[in-house]
Chains A and B, each alone.
Chain A
Amino acid sequence: MNTSAHRHPVSPAMKMAELLDLDFSLLGVATRLGLHFGFGDTTVAEVCQKEGIDPETFLLICRVYAFDGYRPTQEALLAANLHDILKYLHQSHAYYMEVMVPEMATALEQMIKPCAEKQQRVIWRFFADYKEELAKHFAYEEGQVFPYVEAVLNKQSGARFTIGEYEENHSNVEEKLEDLKNLVMKYIPAQCNQQEAYKVLFYIYSLERDLNKHTFIEDDILVPMVGRMENHE
């Protein structure tokens, strides 16, 4: 029974440009996996092959982003390529920390410029703490979890860590972001730069949605895939 394929009509044979047009968040997915714009009429399968990405895995990630509430089938998990999932997660971390968060920081700095020095300090410190927490969270995944997954992939045994521990430790980095959203939306001083406040909110909403999908890929795709490999050893 393959109802999900029926409901989510994306396939390797469709044109890449049409796929990405389904939902603009897919532009980010394609970019992070190193697919180059200027797709012409090439299909998903052709573009992926050229860049050495497994098309089914790419489509799996795309479904997560484009269809809220999508849950991958067992077949989809079995067919997915763990290397590509890891690559995607890693590139996403880089994108969050090197592009999104700095952009948010610039806008936030501009936003609070007209405020009293004391207010600037309070808001900026909250943001700095959030940034640090996010960085720590990603560092844990990059330093502990991903190397472990690589080891499982390369069939190196001896690791004491199991993917279940990761699942337990998966802290919620979304709470502070939501607080920042509400602080800007509801409580910033009236003299704040409004254009910049809009930008800050725009970045928060994009990051919030992206992190949400990112967490789903970690918890509901990476963890079960690795869990199965652990059990088969």
Chain B
Amino acid sequence: MSKRILIVVPSVIAAKGLEQVFNDLGEFEVCAILRDMSGQELRSMAPDAVIVDPAIFDYASRGSVKARVAEYSDAAVIAFTTGPMDEEQQRQFDGVIGLMDTPPAVIKKVRAALEDRTEVPKAEGEELSQREKEILICVAKGMLNKEIADLYNISIYTVITHRKNITRKTGIKTVAGLTVYALLNNLIDMNSVE
């Protein structure tokens, strides 16, 4: 699936140029070009990456651009700069694109920023919670999300969130892989899957 990119750059020429870089590849999809940023739009578009010109903010709040985006979206935040930028400001971003960057350089920076982002939620403990173990057992037994939701009286959405967390913590994505994990960790018995 292509990564959704939101461009928030007031210069039309620069924004169009950036869009051009992404459009030919298929790897990315520019979901919108905005001249200013609103929280509501950020939330509804759910981009994977936001390319933003810090100049849309006044000088005092340029140090907290990333934080402002993070309030509404977990997108990677990449600065687009037309001039020099002090190091302090630069550090908050997942990447910095300059006016003179070539298209391949832009692509590389965006890819790197997206990659960093996927590694972020590591801070929590990697141990599966009791509820996650219960759900893992159901998944390994071949139960559907709906069935698991009914069994524990929770919403399907919650089941999906648990499953996402199980995959993140174990590094195992497929049902077959999770079944092996459950069996090797003695969470289920051979007989219950055959």
**Which residues of A pack against B, CB within 8 Å?**
3, 7, 69, 71, 118-119, 121-123, 126, 129-130, 175-176, 178-180, 182-183, 186-189
Contact = CB atoms under 8 A, between A and B. Distances in A.
Contact of A176 (B102, B108, B170, B176): B176
B173 A122 contact: no
Contact of B177 (A7, A71, A119, A180): A180
B184 A176 contact: no
B171 A182 contact: yes
Interface string B11-49: 000000000000001000000000000000000000000
B181 A187 contact: yes
Chain A binding site: helix, strand, loop or mixed by DSSP?
A: helix
A178 B177 CA distance: 9
A129 B176 contact: yes
Interface in B86-114: 102, 104, 107-108, 111
A206 B11 CA distance: 45
Nearest to A115: B184
Nearest to B184: A187
Contacts of A130: 176
B130 interface: no
Contacts of A186: 170-171
A224 to B, nearest CB: 10
B177 A126 contact: yes
Contacts of A71: 25, 104, 107
A180 B190 CA distance: 19
A175 B173 contact: yes
Contact of B102 (A3, A118, A126, A188): A3
Given A121-B190, A123-B184, A179-B180, 12 more contacts: A3-B102, A71-B104, A118-B190, A122-B180, A122-B183, A126-B176, A126-B180, A176-B174, A178-B171, A179-B171, A179-B177, A182-B172
Interface of B: 25, 102, 104, 107-108, 111, 170-174, 176-177, 179-181, 183-185, 190
Contact of B184 (A3, A129, A188): A188
A129 B174 CA distance: 12
A69 B183 contact: no
Contacts, number: 61
Contact of B170 (A3, A118, A175, A182): A182
Nearest to A129: B176
B173 A178 contact: yes
21 contacts: A7-B104, A69-B108, A71-B25, A118-B190, A121-B190, A122-B190, A123-B184, A126-B176, A129-B176, A175-B173, A176-B177, A178-B173, A179-B173, A179-B174, A179-B176, A183-B177, A183-B180, A183-B181, A186-B171, A187-B184, A189-B184
B120 to A, nearest CB: 19
B172 A122 contact: no
Contacts of B176: 126, 129-130, 176, 179
B17 to A, nearest CB: 15
B184 A69 contact: no
Contacts of B190: 118, 121-122
B139 to A, nearest CB: 13
Contacts of B174: 175-176, 179
B102 A123 contact: no
Nearest to A180: B177
Given A69-B108, A179-B172, A182-B171, A122 B184 contact: yes
